[in-house]
Chains A and B, each alone.
Chain A
Amino acid sequence: MTSSILFSRKLEDIKRNPRVALSLSDPVGIPAQPFSRATIQGDARVIDDDLHEGWYRLLPLWEAKEPIIKTLLKPMQKLGLPLFWERAIIEMVPKRVLWWPNGDTTRDPQVTDIREAVA
């Protein structure tokens, strides 16, 4: 799950075609050791019934990634760009995961079908 600003085209794109993939590929952006790469395919849906507060349940995740958000959430700060704080939630149900140990995509990935794995 993640939240998205309304300025982004991905919300409309997902509503048009909910089949999506999430790629974890950047060793700089993901400073995890040992580094791996993964692609998660699945079906996404946009939850936009409460743009104003619905996404607050994802705030702990967001804060862990971007601690500055806590400061920007102060009422006076929010006035700077109020529409930034009207957000939709994107929920993705994973279908299949491709995992490349050590990030080496020239080798075959380990492929896991989530539904089969859960069953």
Chain B
Amino acid sequence: MNVGDALSRLPGYSHAVLVVPDQEGYPLSVATSFRVVDGTVEVTPASTGPSAVRDTVDARLVLSHIRPYPGVGYDQRRYIELSGALSVGGPVWRFNPEAARGWDEQELSFPELCQRALPQARRYLAALSTERGREVTPQMGAGWRFFLATRLPFLTATIVPVFLGLAAAAYDRHFSLGLAALTLLGAMAVHLGLNVANDVFDTMSGVDDVNFTPTKFSGGSRVLQYGLVNMRQMMALAAVFYAVAIIVGLVLVAISGLGLLWLGVAGVLISYFYTAPPLRLVHRGLGELCVALGFGPIMVLAAYFVQTGHYALRPLILSIPVAILVMLILYANEVPDRFSDAKAGKRTLVVRMQPAAVIRGYVAAVTAAYLVVIAGFVFGVLPWPTLISLLTIPLAYQTWQGLKAHYDSPYQLMSYLGKNVNLHLYTGLLLVIGVLLGLLARR
């Protein structure tokens, strides 16, 4: 904040607090009234008793506002702090501001203020570590750290396509519970490996460090930024997940046939090179396509193949709506991340397009997802009960409206990003239920 900007904001404050050092070196502060005149501030003389205010070049004028919010706390928090010289001769005191700083939560939300001040917190912890001779880090239980680092709740993106592939196989009268469990384990391992590797590479490239508006749906887990886990631990965690995924994948290939190998290899490679150099697929605007392929056809067809030993049209058609909707999770989550992504050279679709085009793209993609279900039914590929997945159309509408209304407000957008995640989950689960109901109806 510069002095001119600060002075233009002063009329928004009811009073000022003048702070000067007293003779013992303590700050002597007193509330007073003021008015801005030609780039200086005229301050009404105030009495501080025996320790009188004197001329000083080390004065501060602090203006603050806060409104009690009964039952909650406070809102409308804002302040301006001017530093400069004070002259107390004459009927009014004259304050010449030389520097200014401030904050207004209506312009910069408190969470974003904290994110911007993360380096300050890190410096404090580093200084404390030096002082104590041991590393001082934020504390959090191992379970919660794992939950946060792996972004466990996003596993729904894996559970839905795997269940869909299994349901399609069951519809074709193939189902083994053991193979289903192994498939789910392998798919979850790839997904968790992807989540952790994504944080590692986004931190290495600086993307997550310059993201000041992370939400619980975007901006990564931030465990590295918060110092909850170190880089070595995250790399080890990603390696463990990929190792588990590869071992489970090889076992499933041995059981089901070589036809699965290509899907498995494609899945692991897409997952790893999503943010990893040299490909960095997401930096090239291919993130949406990778996510759609990985969490759509690859997972649905792989789950189906493990059970049946062959590929088929029905699971492929079933995979398209969930592929589109999972792609839209990423797509919408990129909206609050777009400035930090652009700064770090991560040229996502949302970075490349104008807001109106991004929103139009969202509507077109959602419409396409539902049209595929309808077409699948019309052409006799999908059983009629899969049409219950259309029940989520109102949720899609709400998400679209939220995206339009809060495109530039990351924290207000957050609940709509949540609805968008639910849109994928509920539509996918309704498709699973629809396929299983179709199986029952066929009997």
Binding site for B on A (CB under 8 A): 5-9, 11-12, 17, 19-21, 23, 25-29, 31, 37, 39, 41-42, 48, 51-52, 65-69, 75, 79-84, 86, 95-96, 98, 100, 103, 105-111
Known: A23-B29, A28-B14, A39-B29. A106 touches B47 (CB 8 A): yes
CB distance from B97 to the nearest CB of A (A): 19
- How many angstroms from the CA of A26 to the CA of B65 in the assembled complex? 8
Q: Is the CB of A26 within 8 A of B64?
A: yes
Q: Is the CB of A79 within 8 A of B144?
A: yes
Q: Is the CB of A111 within 8 A of B138?
A: no
- How many angstroms from the CA of A4 to the CA of B48 in the assembled complex? 29
Known: A29-B68, A79-B144. A103 touches B31 (CB 8 A): yes
Number of A-B residue pairs, CB cutoff 8 Å, is 136
B62: chain A residues within 8 A (beta carbon): 23
B276 at the interface (CB under 8 A from A): no
CB distance from B89 to the nearest CB of A (A): 17
CB distance from B75 to the nearest CB of A (A): 10
Q: Is the CB of B32 within 8 A of A98?
A: no
A82: chain B residues within 8 A (beta carbon): 138, 140, 148, 226, 228
B120: chain A residues within 8 A (beta carbon): 6-9
Q: Is the CB of B26 within 8 A of A21?
A: yes
Known: A75-B144, A83-B118. A28 touches B67 (CB 8 A): yes
The one of B14, B30, B114 in contact with A105, judged by C-beta atoms closer than 8 angstroms, is: B30
Q: Is the CB of B25 within 8 A of A19?
A: yes
Which secondary structure dominates where chain B touches chain A?
A: mixed
B49 at the interface (CB under 8 A from A): yes
CB distance from B310 to the nearest CB of A (A): 43
B35 at the interface (CB under 8 A from A): no
Known: A7-B117, A83-B226. A26 touches B47 (CB 8 A): no
Q: Is the CB of B114 within 8 A of A5?
A: yes
CB distance from B114 to the nearest CB of A (A): 5
Known: A26-B66, A105-B46. A86 touches B138 (CB 8 A): yes
Chain B residues with a Cβ closer than 8 Å to the other chain, count: 55
A69: chain B residues within 8 A (beta carbon): 73
Q: Is the CB of A29 within 8 A of B136?
A: no
Q: Is the CB of A105 within 8 A of B72?
A: no
- How many angstroms from the CA of A39 to the CA of B29 in the assembled complex? 6
Q: Is the CB of B28 within 8 A of A31?
A: no
A110: chain B residues within 8 A (beta carbon): 49
Nearest to A27 among chain B residues (CB) is B14
- How many angstroms from the CA of A83 to the CA of B232 in the assembled complex? 21
CB distance from B22 to the nearest CB of A (A): 8
Other than the given A7-B121, A29-B67, 10 more pairs (CB < 8 A) read A6-B125, A7-B114, A7-B117, A8-B120, A17-B25, A19-B24, A29-B65, A42-B26, A79-B216, A106-B44
Known: A26-B64, A66-B72, A109-B48. A83 touches B138 (CB 8 A): yes
The one of B27, B47, B216 in contact with A80, judged by C-beta atoms closer than 8 angstroms, is: B216
B71 at the interface (CB under 8 A from A): yes
- How many angstroms from the CA of A33 to the CA of B31 in the assembled complex? 18
B178 at the interface (CB under 8 A from A): no
The one of B66, B118, B136, B148 in contact with A28, judged by C-beta atoms closer than 8 angstroms, is: B66
In the complex, 28 of the A-B residue pairs with CB atoms within 8 angstroms, ordered by the A residue number, are A6-B125, A7-B114, A12-B124, A19-B24, A19-B26, A23-B17, A23-B30, A28-B68, A29-B74, A37-B31, A39-B30, A41-B26, A41-B27, A48-B128, A68-B72, A75-B144, A79-B147, A83-B121, A86-B138, A98-B49, A103-B31, A105-B46, A106-B44, A106-B45, A106-B46, A107-B47, A109-B48, A111-B51
- How many angstroms from the CA of A79 to the CA of B215 in the assembled complex? 11
A6: chain B residues within 8 A (beta carbon): 120-121, 124-125
- How many angstroms from the CA of A81 to the CA of B111 in the assembled complex? 8
- How many angstroms from the CA of A65 to the CA of B77 in the assembled complex? 14
Which B52-70 residues have a C-beta within 8 angstroms of A?
Answer: 62, 64-68
Q: Is the CB of A21 within 8 A of B72?
A: no
Query: Which of B29, B65, B71, B139: most chain A Cβ within 10 A?
Result: B29
B394 at the interface (CB under 8 A from A): no
Nearest to A30 among chain B residues (CB) is B68
B139: chain A residues within 8 A (beta carbon): 51-52, 86
A103: chain B residues within 8 A (beta carbon): 31
Nearest to B31 among chain A residues (CB) is A25
Q: Is the CB of A25 within 8 A of B17?
A: yes
CB distance from B412 to the nearest CB of A (A): 15
B194 at the interface (CB under 8 A from A): no
A84: chain B residues within 8 A (beta carbon): 114
